[in-house]
Structure 1
Amino acid sequence: MNIEEVRDYCLSLPFATERSPFGPDTLAMEIGGRMFCLMTLDGQRDFYNLKVAPDYGVELCDRFSGIRPGYHMNKRHWVSVDFYGDVPDRLQEQLIFHSYCQTAMKLPKKIQTQLGLTELLDTLWKNDRNK
């Protein structure tokens, strides 16, 4: 996937938004004000960061050379994924979705309710785990 495809897929998820909290060259994809995907726009980096469950992150790093612990992020909870590596596009979409679900599930219940995410998250998370 390229940067435009990653951005488009992220924004296709319910209530996903984008902003540049670290300056104009960094794009953060968010749900409820919390990041689930982070990428640079300056072209100096050929990867993006995603939030993952810790054990899943270790497994992914072991399986793919295009996935490693998150660059400038908490290495336990984030991974960096190469745009053009050995990670198939379909798996990249699944990882983005996993990151989105991980982040949305950690939102305070009040925000989940305001966004109408409670039932949606139950359904999405069940589908994510069955893939």
Structure 2
Amino acid sequence: MDDEALLRIATARADELPGAGLEHPFGPEWDVFKVRGKVFMLQTHYAGRAMVTLKSHPEDAAALCETFADITPGYHMNKKHWISVSPGPSLEPGLVTELVTESYRLVVEKLPRAQRPVDPHVFGVGSPHQA
């Protein structure tokens, strides 16, 4: 997967998620996707390569970093709860879509019930393209 594909796939999934929006609080070089004011995905270029940073369960984050060469602990984020995904041969489009969806669900899960645009316990479960 190359830079453009990674960013295109991650952005396309984020754009499908209920209540998600794009902001640029850190300047134009950082795309920050939020749901109800809470960050679930950041995109930028670092060292000339695309990078997508996503929230992850600590156990999943560790396993993903061990399994995929193109997934590392979150750049400039809590290394236990965030991962960074860079373009490379170990990534498949479905994995990127699934990781974006899971990051969104983890953030929605922490919102007060009245602010949740979806039920995080069932949204996206079973199909990464479920909206």
Q: TM-score range by the shorter chain?
A: 0.7 to 0.9
Q: TM-score, normalised by structure 1?
A: 0.83
Q: Is the 8 A contact 1:25 1:42 kept in 2?
A: no
- Aligned mates of 2:55, 2:25 — CA distance in 1: 17
Give unpaired runs (5+ residues) of structure 1: none
Q: Which of structures 1 and 2 has the larger relative contact order (alpha carbons within 8 angstroms, sep 6+)?
A: 2
Please give the TM-score of this superposition, normalised by the length of structure 2.
0.83
| 1:26 alignment partner in structure 2 | 30
Higher helix share: 1
RMSD: 2.2
Separation in structure 2 between the aligned mates of residue 43 and residue 29 of structure 1, nearest angstrom: 21
Percentage of matched positions with identical amino acids: 30
* Count of residue pairs brought into register by the alignment: 124
**1:2 is paired with a residue of what secondary structure?**
helix
1: CA distance between counterparts of 2:67 and 2:111? 30
Structure 2: state its 5+ residue gaps.
none
What does the per-residue CA deviation read over 1:41-95, in whole Å, with 9 as the maximum and x for residues that have no partner? 6883322100000000000001010001001111011000113341211111111
